Structure 1
Amino acid sequence: MIRNSGGLAVVLDEGVLNISLILSDMKHLSIHDCYEAMVQFIEYMLRDLTNDIKAYEIVGSYCPGDYDLSIDGKKFAGISQRRIKDSAAIQIYLDVNGDSHARAQLVRGFYDVGIKGEETKFTYPTVDPQVMDSLSNLLGHKLTVADMKNRAKQALAHFATELVTPPFSDREYETFEKRYTQLLKRNERIAQLRVE
């Protein structure tokens, strides 16, 4: 699947959760403000388990950026952002459980095969699996994607009491349904290509 934000490869499997915060009328907020909103959202989600989350680039991780989330120097999440007009979609992948090192090795192999030792216009990261890990391992607490979804819903409920959000219009719901159907169809085509 091709993400509509970020610029490098990440691995998505059953142990990885993607969350998007979609905010409208954000012209008064900077790109960094929006990244910070996601950082604070994740910190709130995990507030009972840790207060050691740091946001800075983890060199050697796949898809490195200024807003990599880590604990003890090991990356467990990466944030990207897409802005259109006055709206922003802040997107994060969370490595919840599973074999983080195998995921990193997969991306490292992907770059090795793609680059073939040739010179490139863009500098791709040299992926080091040792700088990445899952939340479950880092916290010493078994977490599942379902757990993290529940934590996200609780965090949204908490923050929703602080925000006044107008209801979606019928037109907005129609547009959402149309785009969601397109997404499902695109993913079906991608899955068929992979099987072939």
Structure 2
Amino acid sequence: MNVGPFDREAAIRPKMRTDLRFFPWESKCYNSGMMVAKPMEEPQDRRPPGPGLLLSDAALAFAAERRLAERIAGGGPTAVFVWTAPPTFVFGAQDVKETAGRRAARQVLAEYRAAGLVRPSGGRLVPIDPGVVNLAWIGPTRGPLATIEGAFRWAAERLQDFFRRFGLSVAFGEVEGAFCPGRYDGAVFGKKIVGLAQRRWRGAAAVEAFVLVAGTGAERAERAAAFYRLAGGPVVRPERMGALAEWRDLKDEVGIRAAAAALLSAFVAGTDECVRAGTLSAVLGPDGVSALHPFVRALVAESRARLGLGGAEGGAGG
């Protein structure tokens, strides 16, 4: 496949209905074809941990989804944000259901000096780090989110738009040997580079996506493979995983930010409904982030219990 050079400036320019430039830290609302943009403060992602575009804590992101779902079920607007985190093993509930899985989880967390979390959505283990850009789109259970299958198809279309901005084509379908396999794996040149998951509540739903941007897919696959060698489970083949940086110049912080902005833009530009997008402080309001603390504590406590940390199995914490 012959593609042209990657243009970073083009990557962060969305397809808008107006001539206003898109900034990922602005708050935007589409309504009847009109856009209202409120410039926000300087992006806070350079001062982790914090409520900026790029989060430093996966638990905070999942807690935000739940809080936003409550607002949306009560009539609030759709919301979307993107985030990254330090090295974290985000386990699926199935991964740590048995004693062998919990023991293996504690071992790899210690070996890789990583955080551990059991995510509340479906799927299997996903090792993330600052080079993995994650997106959460939370909205009412109508339109594109009315059904599980419809939500997956809609998100896949938005991701196709995202990859087109980098001159790449993505194919959807389960990639054998990839970690967290599913029918909506997104692959570039046969290597999985993106995954999708969903969470659903009464009146609201969330679509989650992770995109491997910097680094390589193989190094992350090896982390997952190390866990499954100990726990038993699916065979993960490092050669079946990829990352955007393997084909485009997205190896540093600037590249990761450009990918995050392009991902957010592809989703926001693909809908006509009212959407609040940007930093969590913009979406949740000045006091909204501190209001997440009870949700974070509950998720962390549940994860520790599922991982056998500090409980009856006597895990060593971490």
Distance between the aligned counterparts of 1:157 and 1:90, measured in 2? 13
**Which structure 1 segments of 5+ residues have no match?**
116-123, 167-171
Distance between the aligned counterparts of 2:294 and 2:160, measured in 1? 33
Q: Secondary structure at the match of 1:91?
A: strand
RMSD: 2.9
Distance between the aligned counterparts of 2:168 and 2:217, measured in 1? 22
Distance between the aligned counterparts of 1:176 and 1:9, measured in 2? 29
With structure 1 as the length reference, what TM-score do the two structures score?
0.77
Q: Is residue 24 from structure 1 mapped to residue 133 from structure 2 by the alignment?
A: no
- Give the structure 2 partner of residue 141 of structure 1: 248
Letter matched to residue 109 of structure 1 = A
Letter matched to residue 134 of structure 2 = N
User: Which whole-Å deviations, capped at 9, do the CAs of 1:51-76 have from their partners, x for residues lacking one?
Assistant: 52111000100110000000121100
**Which structure 2 segments of 5+ residues have no match?**
1-116, 277-283, 305-315
User: Which whole-Å deviations, capped at 9, do the CAs of 1:160-190 have from their partners, x for residues lacking one?
Assistant: 5x22459xxxxx8699546632355566997
Q: Which has the larger radius of gyration?
A: 2
- Equivalent of residue 125 in structure 1, options 234, 253, 264: 234
With structure 2 as the length reference, what TM-score do the two structures score?
0.49
Distance between the aligned counterparts of 1:29 and 1:82, measured in 2? 12
Distance between the aligned counterparts of 2:188 and 2:200, measured in 1? 28
Q: Is residue 5 from structure 1 mapped to residue 121 from structure 2 by the alignment?
A: yes
Residue 44 to residue 182, structure 1, CA distance change in 2 (3 Å): farther
Q: Secondary structure at the match of 2:195?
A: strand
Q: CA deviation at 1:5?
A: 1.0
Q: CA deviation at 1:83?
A: 1.4
Q: Is residue 159 from structure 1 mapped to residue 159 from structure 2 by the alignment?
A: no
Residue 25 to residue 6, structure 1, CA distance change in 2 (3 Å): closer
Residue 156 to residue 130, structure 1, CA distance change in 2 (3 Å): closer
Q: CA deviation at 1:3?
A: 1.4
Asked whether the equivalents of residues 63 and 125 of structure 1 are also in contact (C-alpha less than 8 Å), the reply is no
Residue 158 to residue 76, structure 1, CA distance change in 2 (3 Å): same
Asked whether the equivalents of residues 213 and 245 of structure 2 are also in contact (C-alpha less than 8 Å), the reply is yes
- Equivalent of residue 112 in structure 1, options 229, 249, 263: 229
Q: Secondary structure at the match of 1:92?
A: strand
Asked whether the equivalents of residues 26 and 88 of structure 1 are also in contact (C-alpha less than 8 Å), the reply is no
Q: Which has the higher helix share?
A: 1
Q: CA deviation at 1:154?
A: 2.6
Letter matched to residue 5 of structure 1 = S
User: 1:64-79, aligned counterparts within 5 Å?
Assistant: 64-79=181-196
Distance between the aligned counterparts of 2:294 and 2:179, measured in 1? 28
Distance between the aligned counterparts of 2:260 and 2:288, measured in 1? 21
Asked whether the equivalents of residues 126 and 224 of structure 2 are also in contact (C-alpha less than 8 Å), the reply is yes
- Give the structure 1 partner of residue 100 of structure 2: none
Q: Secondary structure at the match of 2:270?
A: helix
Q: Secondary structure at the match of 1:75?
A: strand
Residue 5 to residue 176, structure 1, CA distance change in 2 (3 Å): farther
Give aligned pairs, total: 177
Distance between the aligned counterparts of 2:285 and 2:181, measured in 1? 35
Asked whether the equivalents of residues 18 and 91 of structure 1 are also in contact (C-alpha less than 8 Å), the reply is yes
Distance between the aligned counterparts of 1:65 and 1:157, measured in 2? 25
Residue 176 to residue 95, structure 1, CA distance change in 2 (3 Å): same
Distance between the aligned counterparts of 2:287 and 2:185, measured in 1? 32
Distance between the aligned counterparts of 1:91 and 1:102, measured in 2? 22
Residue 72 to residue 92, structure 1, CA distance change in 2 (3 Å): same
Asked whether the equivalents of residues 21 and 38 of structure 1 are also in contact (C-alpha less than 8 Å), the reply is no
